[in-house]
Structure 1
Amino acid sequence: MANHPPSHYLDIGQQGEDLVTQWLESTGWLILHRRFNCRWGEIDIIAEYQGGETQEPSKNILLNTQNLTLAFVEVKTRSPNNWDDGGRSAITAQKQTKLWRTAQVYLAKYPEKADYNCRFDVAVVSYQQKSQLKTGVISAPDALFSLSLPGYELYLQEYIPAAFDASIF
């Protein structure tokens, strides 16, 4: 059996981010950035939700900006029965600090978003190779969203809004 180069294999982390992006869009979120990075770190997804605002049709301006939410989303994609509780344990205080600093850089770059309600969300995605799936058995009946790819099934197991408090930094 030949060893394939790393580029041959599916980037399962990126596929998990694709799944979460599709789910967020289907629930009314606007994706602003994917894999935003700076010297402090990377944020997988930055999304905006304009819940409840109305627009003045003739001027195309927002009348109520207090309902605008900006979510900095960390996606954790893991195989079943992994060591870190689906990625939840990987959101350490150090990781939270990196996300917070990266979000500060983002808001400095896009100051028009600085007045939005900002939060840090975590999406937990699980995946299985299709060869491991048993015929007729639903592997993730409680999944919020799923995606089928050649050779893989991905499931959005949990979406945690405001997963950690940025005010502790």
Structure 2
Amino acid sequence: KDVTINGKTTSQFLASVILDNLPPRPFNIRMVRETADSTTDQLQNKTLWSSYTEIIDVKQCYPNTAIVGLQVDAEQFGGQQMTVNYHIRGRIIQVPSNYDPEKRTYSGIWDGSLKPAYSNNPAWCLWDMLTHPRYGMGKRLGAADVDKWALYAIGQYCDQTVPDGFGGTEP
């Protein structure tokens, strides 16, 4: 694609060029200046390549990822930027079968079995990272390689209540 740049400026000049239908990667982009750079101090016309940005316009699929998209009419907000907040709890992980993650309590004697539930208890989040085969170490470590009984004691310690600094308590 041929691009001609003419004009004068006392500051940096940037040009954007859109190249459609690029070949599969890797590919080369070459910029050629047909006139020589100036050799005098009175004319500064050195040409530099700064960068390129590749924009891929395709429909994306994001497996195992929660995504939210919104399309709204800006006139509904009086020209103001819209603010959207989300409260995201996170992943459902394996926790002890006698554990109530909402109340952060353990009932009875644990038989070693696990159940799926949301929890932000660091011990059970660690269990998830160590044993999950997709994003954790689960392809290298088996459940038998991790001491879940020690994690059970650590989890109970993590769920103990402590002062929150405002007169109440929190786990």
TM-score (norm 1): 0.25
Q: Which has the higher strand share?
A: 1
TM-score (norm 2): 0.25
Structure with larger Rg? 2
- By relative contact order (CA 8 Å, sep 6+), the higher-ranking structure is 1
Q: Which has the higher helix share?
A: 1
